[in-house]
Amino acid sequence: MPSLSQQEADARRVKRSDYTSCTVAFIDCKKPGSHLKENYSIIGPGVTSSADQVVNLPEPHGFNIGAAAMPNGITNNLHIHFTAEVFIVQKGEWTFRWGSNGENEFTGREGDILSVPTWIFRGFTNAGPDDGWLFTILGGDNTGGVIFHPDIIREAAEYGLYISNENTLIDTSRGDAVPDADACIPPMPDTEVAALREVTPREMRSRVVTAADRDFRPAFIDANLPGCGAELAPVIGYGLTQNRDHAAPITNPHGFSTEWLRMAPCTHVSPFALPDKMVIILHKGQLRITFHDGTDVTVDLEAWDTYSIPAGTVRSLEALGDETVEALVTVSGDHRKRPVFADDVIAAAEARGTGLDAGGFMAKAALLPLYRRAG
């Protein structure tokens, strides 16, 4: 069983105050209306093209956690991703666009999540009245970078900006030499742009889980134990839930699962282990994570903090303060996740009438057979 010292556990917390922006992360950074973008790489580098980008926790997770912040009216221009890109609206109102010329739109508000298909152009604008914030999840440890819309690449050259074949931003205003054409990513031919798949507004809406869409249900075997009762609302893929009535609205492979966690004040989730890396982005409230390896190391999270829990560690979660905790939980892999609770937790739950069936889902203990098949 892995163990963490207090120092090691603290190092896996990225506080809101630790997030460090980069304003020259992409080739459109000098375009009027896009020049005030702030890009953040919280876990993994994401798709940044800038050597100036600070990465808070570079350890590979199988996915990247980042963020984008912008004042009202600022736009992140049309670009293509090769791996999953998921937007979580933390603050504000955002207009998301997609299509070969950004002809389709969806408006996202606080608590909404949008997963954009790969290999289509997408962009977004802060349409709210003040500064807005998006968290992002990108699939893979190597995202492959991005392809910007050909109009953006051509316009960037007017400001002395180019993108190399290695996804590195070249800025002639900073003394970089003008690169040879074959050393840069060229504009995508118009014929290739026109040939990209079309995603209808109806299809894209099926890839949105708004705050109102969330299906919170009791999630864990300890649901009926005193002081427990945490709920999950699946968003993407097979997550942690032990509730067989749960179904994720977005099911295509992303390389990770994502679900909302909700905990009433002063409640907890009993200690459990998980053989996968797990990241918590705290949306609201205060949350304590305790590692149970004989030392009871604890880390307290505030709203907007990000925390990475190593695979294999035994951890419990506790909602602190008077506010209901809402957190986004992302776990590596497309497989179904299997939290492992201690035998005494299972026994206590069974004594109160709840057991786990052979599929690992909660069921009435009285209905479960007593025999165990050999082999």
**Same domain (yes/no): 24, 117:** yes
Do the domain assignments include residue 9?
Answer: no
Contacts of 373 (CB under 8 A, 6+ apart): none
**Same domain (yes/no): 255, 307:** yes
In angstroms, the Cα distances linking 325 to 14, 20, 216 are 18, 25, 13
The CATH number assigned to the domain holding 168 equals 2.60.120.10
- Please say whether the beta carbons of 261 and 292 come within 8 A: no
**Domain-terminating residue out of 209, 234, 250:** 209
Whether 216 has a pLDDT exceeding 60, the answer reads: yes
Do the domain assignments include residue 194?
Answer: yes
**Same domain (yes/no): 94, 189:** yes
**pLDDT at site 360:** 96
**pLDDT at site 166:** 86
**Same domain (yes/no): 344, 271:** yes
**Same domain (yes/no): 239, 337:** yes
Do the domain assignments include residue 10?
Answer: no
**Domain-terminating residue out of 194, 209, 224:** 209
Per-residue exposure over 136-160, b if at least 16 CB sit within 10 Å of its own CB, e if not: bbbbbbebebbbbbbebbebbeebe
Strands 55-57 and 38-43: parallel
Contacts of 159 (CB under 8 A, 6+ apart): 30, 31, 173
**pLDDT at site 97:** 98
Average pLDDT over residues 189-216: 97
**Same domain (yes/no): 194, 245:** no
**Hey, what long-range contacts does 240-245 have (CB within 8 A, 24 or more apart)?**
240/274, 240/329, 240/331, 240/337, 240/339, 241/217, 242/339, 242/356, 242/360, 242/361, 242/362, 243/217, 243/218, 243/219, 243/361, 243/362, 244/357, 244/359, 244/361, 244/362, 244/363, 245/217
**Same domain (yes/no): 264, 154:** no
Do the domain assignments include residue 374?
Answer: no
Average pLDDT over residues 356-367: 95
Question: For residue 233, what are the domain limits?
Answer: 214-367
Q: What is the DSSP string of 85-140?
A: EEEEEEESEEEEEESTTS-EEEEEETT-EEEEPTTS-EEEEE-SSS-EEEEEEEES
Whether 126 has a pLDDT exceeding 60, the answer reads: yes
Strands 256-263 and 268-273: unpaired
Amino acid code (one letter) for 368: L
Other C-beta atoms closer than 10 Å to the C-beta of 162 total 22
User: Whole-angstrom Cα distance, residue 40 to residue 20?
Assistant: 6
Band (375; pLDDT cuts 50, 70, 90): very low
Contacts of 292 (CB under 8 A, 6+ apart): 271, 314, 315, 316
**pLDDT at site 44:** 96
**Same domain (yes/no): 37, 171:** yes
Do the domain assignments include residue 7?
Answer: no
User: Whole-angstrom Cα distance, residue 275 to residue 272?
Assistant: 10
**Domain-terminating residue out of 209, 224, 250:** 209
pTM: 0.95
**Structure confidence by residue, pLDDT tens digits, 136-182:** 999 999 999 999 999 999 999 999 999 988 888 999 988 888 889 88
Do the domain assignments include residue 5?
Answer: no
In which element (H, E) is residue 271 found?
A: strand 268-273
User: Whole-angstrom Cα distance, residue 311 to residue 331?
Assistant: 10
**Same domain (yes/no): 193, 252:** no
Q: What is the DSSP string of 340-353?
A: EE-HHHHHHHHHTT
Whether 373 has a pLDDT exceeding 70, the answer reads: no
The total domain count for the chain is 2
**Same domain (yes/no): 205, 221:** no
**Same domain (yes/no): 194, 48:** yes
User: Whole-angstrom Cα distance, residue 120 to residue 79?
Assistant: 8
Do the domain assignments include residue 8?
Answer: no
Do the domain assignments include residue 4?
Answer: no
**Same domain (yes/no): 251, 271:** yes
Q: Percentage of the chain with pLDDT > 90?
A: 90
Whether 62 has a pLDDT exceeding 50, the answer reads: yes
